[in-house]
Amino acid sequence: MTGLHLPPSARITHVIYDLDGTLLDTEPLYVETTNAILARFGTALDPAMRARMIGRPTPVVARMLVDLVGIDMTPEAFVEERDRILHDRFPSAKPRAGAKELTTHLARHGVGQAIATSSSTHSLARKLLSDPPWFESFDAIVSTDEVRHGKPAPDVFLEAARRLGADPASCLVFEDAPSGVEAALAAGMYVVALPEPLYGDLMPGAHVALDSFTDFDPAAWGLPPHSR
C-alpha cells in the first residue's frame, strides 16, 4: 500500500467506480475465456501483454491482442466468440470484497456515486444482472459507448461527474487498471487503485493503492466514517 497524498484542503463529495475488476470480479472470466480461444492457436495471454490491455475498451483490446499474439483471427471475430461465451457468465459475477458494503454505506449517507466503465452497453447490461438492486442504487452508470474516447482518455469519468453534478476535483475514483488510473488523473480526480498484485507497480500516479475495499477508510477522505 502506498502513502496517502490527499491535500488537507481537498473535500471529496462524490465517488466514481470502475466496474470490471473493481466492483465486480469479472477479470478471471475474461482471462479464462480469452485463453480458451488462444489455446486453439497454441498460445496464451501472458501477464505483460494483459497489463497493456486491461481496462481498455473492447475494440482496442481485440486489435492489440490480434496484433501482439499474431493469431489467424480478425479482432471482430475474436470479440464475437469471446462475447458469446461471456454472455452466459457475466450474470454470475460476484462483487469484489468490501465493494457492496462501502457503496451501501455511502449511499445510506447520501454520497453521490457513479460507475464509469469500459464495458460496451451490451456487456454492461449482462453484468448488471448479477445484482440488479445493488446497481440500481448508483446515481449514474456510464458506458464507454456513451463517450467519444475510451480510457485512458478521461471522457467516461468526466461524463460520470457531469451526470452527478459534481466538480471533477471533488471526485474520488476507484480503479484496478493502469489505463483507468491514467484516465481518472487526466480528469483531474483523486484515485484509489485496487490493483491485482501483479500490476501494483504500474500505477505510480494513484494517490493511494490498497489491497481491497476493506482497507479503505472513508473518514480519511472526508467521507462519512464507518460506524464503530
Strand 140-143 versus strand 171-175 pairing type = unpaired
- CB-based contact 19:119 (threshold 8 Å): yes
The closest of 183, 115, 113 to 148, measured between CA atoms, is 183
Our answer to whether residue 72 is catalytic in this structure is no
- CB-based contact 157:168 (threshold 8 Å): yes
**Catalytic one among 20, 155, 167, 201?**
20
Our CA angle for 144, 145, 147, nearest 5°, is 70
Our answer to whether residue 167 is catalytic in this structure is no
Q: Is 164 helix (H, G, I), strand (E, B) or coil?
A: helix
C-alpha 131, offset from chain centre: 17
- CB-based contact 210:174 (threshold 8 Å): no
Other beta carbons within 10 Å of 186: 17
**Catalytic one among 18, 131, 215, 217?**
18
What is the Cα–Cα distance from 218 to 167, expressed in whole angstroms? 19
Which active-site residues does the annotation give? Answer: 18, 20
